[in-house]
Structure 1
């Protein structure tokens, strides 16, 4: 029997491991079920289609005891959104039965792990369900297909292009799904390693380590993993997982230390207290440096001086979105409403007496990054001294209206 390392109070709650990932989860799930050392397991298998193919494979090859264990199929939707209420109800029901040692959840390939984790950490007021009373989220696992990762990461396809969207409003790109799955987890399983050369595996692992510094990375072939690596780990911590993405870690560093640069994988923060010229910034985006694997941050755009913008890039996909108003752009009445004071409100270390919290701050992660060239080319996108004195609203702004 696997030993739970947690204290008695936490150990009394039914532990849960969630498997996420675009490809390869069912093979790993079946291997764990065949090597679970006597644990009585309830399994929830989520499939977007009407026919739950993965559940059928688990029934056929997972070795579940029909008398002591249970398989719950959740089909025709995703547990991170449309089937979230169903997930709450099913998990509560399984926990209250009191006959299981563990719950294993296989999320659909297009599922995002963060909303699933929230299901276990927040009270659902509408249904009156608090899963934290009966269960504890033990481990969030993301499976990465080592053979196909770069093909999917560099595709321009959306989930809709592949007929895998969760609904009509699902506009997500494949690469952003992969990134969301990697950046929120406790364990990264790098599967199908037998189909990739050692040098390519080393490079991929270093990239994943930079994207997700907190997670343990485990290499597997044909889904063969020691169950102890993902069961009864005590690894999950919602706050730590929420802050574990590489770009967040980079922004929080007081001083950058290039641990991985010797392997060609590196990251840096580009930070400036001067806005981008909108037209030059769009031109820069169209000449995107191919060595950048991931970037994210906040933008100050001159022609839209009062509004902050978030920028996110993964692979060939780049997204610009509104991030609300700069604090410095709020009226005295708005500051009073938001902060209970017109003058005394929280100011970051980047606060400037003239421009307030307006700033450009971008994290870049990539392979063989030329920090000097990227920074210098971005500096040429900033307003010149003469442009700083001009009417910014009159600048040509071809960026999408957001």
Structure 2
């Protein structure tokens, strides 16, 4: 938590509520509005559809004064993408009115919190708006539905499959949206706790702590939370929030101490300077260890020796995508172009004279992980000593082709 200067204290604080559709954001918002101890509040409610149902619920909730306060509806789009410019203008206008103590924003259920947070931290040169001079982003809150979380986390469906996509180019999976919302927040509210058992709650809280170890976790039912838990918390720090996801924290550790942590979470980094055989890697991905909740990192595959491959897993979803060329694969001319020198350029901690920066580095986060078993199974997908000396281009490669 950062210490605020007098200048920062004069800025109007902002709390943003995110969370998947049906998690209970509007119920929480109405409860806070009815229990905020005299704060004059402006509320922005974002809804993807043309009819802003959530705004109607807030209006009917009786928590806003119809004379002293303001409810702004932002409909038919998402404030993290298509309505971002509108959000800038609305927040600037509300802040310049200087008659509100607080701004509360409820994002649409398919919105990602990171782009919304960025809106408050940079100057929009096109519109000439700098919200960081007028507002102080106080807290990013993500609401999780305790009853439906595992069903949504373990689905292969996309938002389009559920008719919830933001537009023609929106190909996001439901699980990846959930993960984005959980991994970027200051406070995690587990709502609808009355609908699941204590054992299920413990399992859920354990998984969420693995995904986002920095966040304060609050259990609630029917959206009843103490307003002090999400208003004027002084919790938000963009740099901390950007690197607070569990997989990032694991990668940044200087060394790993095997854990049977307080909450039953374990995590480790798998690091090897030997490439995967593409066929054996695909077989390994097809027999994914169920205890791994989240995995992310970079892979070196023998048949794609010039290209780093990005890997991301959450729930049952596993994605491979190109992550760019290895530095060691660049020509002398390309190194001079990118770094100004053929020989003098930044080298990664994993650099060696033979293979350069080529490496597999994967973070595994889960509950009850058998680290040795997972490591052994991954090692079996690497090239053998004989294969290392053979022609890698001759290996059959059934992995997805990239553009």
- Aligned equivalent of 1:180: 180
1:98 alignment counterpart: 98
Q: Quote the Cα distance in structure 2 between the aligned partners of 1:24 and 1:309.
A: 37
Q: Does 1:13 align with 2:7?
A: no
Contact 1:31/1:62 (8 A) holds in 2: no
Q: How does 1:42-81 map to 2 (within 5 A)?
A: 42-81=42-81
Query: How far does residue 265 in structure 1 lie from its aligned partner after superposition?
Result: 2.5
Residue in 2 that maps onto 1:194: 194
* Structure 1 residue runs without a partner (length 5+): none
SS in 2 for 1:74: strand
Secondary structure (helix, strand or coil) at the match of 1:73 reads strand
Q: Report the secondary structure of 1:121's partner residue.
A: coil
Mean CA deviation greater in 303-312 or 190-199 = 190-199
State the match for 2:322 in structure 1.
322
Instruction: Tell me, yes or no, if the aligned pair for 1:46 and 1:108 is still in contact at 8 Å.
Output: yes
Deviation of 1:260 (Å):
4.3
The whole-number CA distance in structure 1 between the counterparts of 2:68 and 2:259 is 49
SS at match of 1:30: helix
What's 2:89 paired with? 89
1:374 and 2:374 correspond? yes
What CA deviation, in whole Å up to 9, does each residue of 1:249-286 have, x standing for no partner? 01111122344446543111111000001111111111
> Matches of 1:94 and 1:169 in 2, distance apart?
32
Name the residue aligned to 1:345.
Answer: 345
Q: For residues 337 and 37 of structure 1, what CA distance do their matches in structure 2 show?
A: 60
What is the rounded CA distance, in whole Å, between the counterparts of 2:158 and 2:173 in structure 1? 4
Alignment TM-score, normalising by the size of structure 2? 0.97
Q: Which runs of 4+ in 1 moved over 6 A?
A: none
Note the 1:1-400 alignment, pairs <5 A: 6-22=4-20, 23-261=23-261, 264-400=264-400
Aligned length: 399
SS where residue 203 of structure 2 aligns?
helix
Q: TM-score, normalised by structure 1?
A: 0.97
User: Aligned with 2:46: secondary structure?
Assistant: strand
Structure 2: which 5+ residue stretches go unaligned? none
Q: 2: CA distance between counterparts of 1:150 and 1:259? A: 24
